[in-house]
Chain A
Amino acid sequence: MNKKFMLFSSVLLLVLIVSMTFAVMVGSVSVTPLYVWKVILSKLPFIQHMIEQDWSRSQEIIIWQIRVPRVILAAIVGAGLAIAGAAIQALVRNSIADPYILGISSGATVGATSVIILGAFSFLGIYALSVSAFLGSLIAIGLVFFLSRVGGRISIFRLLLAGMAVSFILTAVSNFILMMSKQEGALKAVMFWMLGSLAGAKWNNIVIPAFIFFVVFGLLWLFYRNLNLLLLGEEAAVTLGVNLQQFRIQLILLVSLLTGVLVAVSGSIGFVGLIIPHIVRLIVGSNYKYVIPISALLGGIFLVWADALARIIIAPQEMPIGIITAFCGGPFFIWLLRRNNYSFGEGD
């Protein structure tokens, strides 16, 4: 398996790089892959002087200032949501779980709605939306976490139910703000945010998500043994030496932090966190040693393509990326459901 895994992940990495190159090429102004890489290489230290600058200033802006950060963000968001989904499915031992099950996206939506419609946090300027969305998700997860503790222990059932309850309440809050608003176009702006978009990507706002992604990815991968044991159930985890309460709390914190940061920059893009872990398990099995890295790669590839489609499908307008992920993911998921030899878990 190790050799196969190395080969498979190298192939996926290559596909990711090719996909990202392609995604930088397409758009209202198309550029050749040669220029894409020349511009990118010219920005790197040491080798920059070896590249002859034979492109226009506008080409450079399109490639370097607009598309490259956007494509990188797409890869990070896709990879991040996929590993968050994989981790949350192990935590709650339930295959219908996704990273938003803990109320994170509904909290973020309240934050975003209050910025878009009420103009909250206007002193933060262009960061207002991300900051308030992140704060909203923190409040939501804090509430859910607090509600799911019984006698100092985290009950998984309560966690799921509290996540649902908090989501309902916070969604009602966003809807209330929306309904009371008299602004033209506010509904569309909020709608667009809820369905997700990577249009806001810039070099300076992808640094934090990228950093958090790599930290959480590394930790989840290191914890693969414990994640496997969680999947087997409480009894196996306890008898094989996992400190269950402590590990659950660590996992909730890691997943919430990652999801909160991603949602803050991209809106709540659906389906990636649910479907990618399933596809990965179908290919490599349930061992998290492989599920975590392959989910990251596949999630990244998926979202890079989804974002490229979002940009070109109704150009010059942009389609919210959530519509694309659901349209591509939904039918695939139905196909998976109809397969007899794929197990969704207990009672299947």
Chain B
Amino acid sequence: MTLEAKQVSFSIYDQRILHEVSVQIKEKQFVGLIGPNGSGKSTLLKNMYRLLKPESGTVLLNEQNILKQSSKAIAKNLAVVSQETPVLFDFTVHDLVSMGRTPHKKLLELDQEQDFQIVKDALKQTGISHLAKRSFSSLSGGEKKRVMVARALAQQAQVLILDEPTNHLDIQHQLQLMDLIQTLHLTVVAALHDLNIAAMYCDQIYVLQHGRIVCHGTPQEVLTPSLLQEVFGVFADIQTHTLTGKPYLTYVPEQFAKKVCQV
């Protein structure tokens, strides 16, 4: 299953947030979106999961316009872990993860043994089985995030949209989560803040700046000292890591800027 944004533009009031942005995620590809705060990553993702409607351009899920499909049909194929972990009132972790089964349920259908098993697996995969009976509002930020991921897994969609999934997580859970997502072999698009994580896990990276795609390609192609300086305004030394074979970034203070640029 593929996901594609074609020339998507979007404005809030008169402010252009996205300028004809095109992103293509091929079958089972892991695509990262990087860019500084306010570059339009979340807005682009929200356009892709239909929370926002593009001003112009289209979003295609498996080559079909998402605006022409029912919400339910899309939710069967597309799961989202958004930045918000809103919870008003109170649900248990198990209740919340079970809600991931909603798009697969008919009006009169009750949860079956199979649904319970899927929920149980999702809890296990995200390492939160022991929290199943806890109330969601009593959890820490990182635990809440993992519940949201478990809910998306319970949805059993082929395409996964993640908006800063590693936010709030400690380093162990950041890597665990990214490893888990990688082993699921889904079509994934993720907005990422940590460029080293992006370098380690992404097949393709798109760089957003001021609502435009500045460049895209493999991590090796995209993550260069000049790009980091231009887009993020930071200086970084970039090496190929001996174990992972992926680019590894070390941010350096400005006094070393000249040396970095010489490399």
Q: Which residues of A contact B (CB under 8 A)?
A: 93, 95, 222-223, 225-226, 228-229, 231-236, 238-244, 281, 285-287, 343, 345-346
Contacts and interface: CB of A to CB of B under 8 A. Distances in A.
Contacts of A95: 88-89
Contacts of A243: 70-72
B71 A281 contact: no
A286 B88 CA distance: 9
Contacts of A93: 88
B47 to A, nearest CB: 12
B95 A287 contact: yes
Interface in B22-65: 49-51
Contact of B74 (A232, A233, A236, A241): A241
B91 A286 contact: yes
Given A239-B78, A243-B70, A343-B89, 13 more contacts: A95-B88, A222-B107, A232-B86, A232-B88, A235-B86, A236-B86, A238-B71, A239-B80, A239-B82, A241-B71, A241-B74, A281-B89, A287-B92
A285 B91 contact: yes
- Chain B interface residue count: which class? 20 to 34
B49 A222 contact: no
Contact of A232 (B75, B99, B135, B155): B99
Contacts of A285: 90-92, 95, 135
A343 B102 contact: no
B147 to A, nearest CB: 12
A239 B107 contact: no
Interface of B: 49-51, 70-76, 78-80, 82, 84, 86-92, 95-96, 99-100, 102-103, 105, 107-108, 135, 137, 155
22 contacts: A93-B88, A95-B89, A225-B99, A226-B102, A228-B91, A229-B102, A231-B88, A232-B91, A233-B86, A233-B88, A234-B51, A239-B49, A239-B50, A240-B100, A241-B72, A241-B73, A243-B70, A286-B89, A286-B95, A287-B95, A346-B86, A346-B88
B228 to A, nearest CB: 31
B75 A241 contact: yes
- A222, A226, A229, A239 — most chain B CB neighbours (10 Å): A239
A177 B100 CA distance: 53
B49 A238 contact: yes
Contact of A235 (B72, B78, B84, B92): B84
Contacts of B95: 228, 285-287
A228 B102 CA distance: 10
B99 A228 contact: yes
Contacts of B87: 232
Contacts of A287: 91-92, 95
B90 A281 contact: yes
A238 B92 CA distance: 21
B219 to A, nearest CB: 28
Contacts of A343: 89-90, 137
Contacts of A286: 89-91, 95
Nearest to B73: A241
A285 B133 CA distance: 12
- A95, A226, A233 — most chain B CB neighbours (10 Å): A233
The 9 closest A-B pairs by CB, nearest first: A241-B75, A241-B103, A241-B72, A286-B89, A239-B80, A345-B88, A233-B86, A346-B88, A241-B71
A239 B72 CA distance: 9
A81 to B, nearest CB: 19
B91 A239 contact: no
A238 to B, nearest CB: 5
A225 B105 contact: yes
B113 to A, nearest CB: 13
A326 B17 CA distance: 50
Nearest to A247: B71
A305 to B, nearest CB: 27
B31 to A, nearest CB: 18
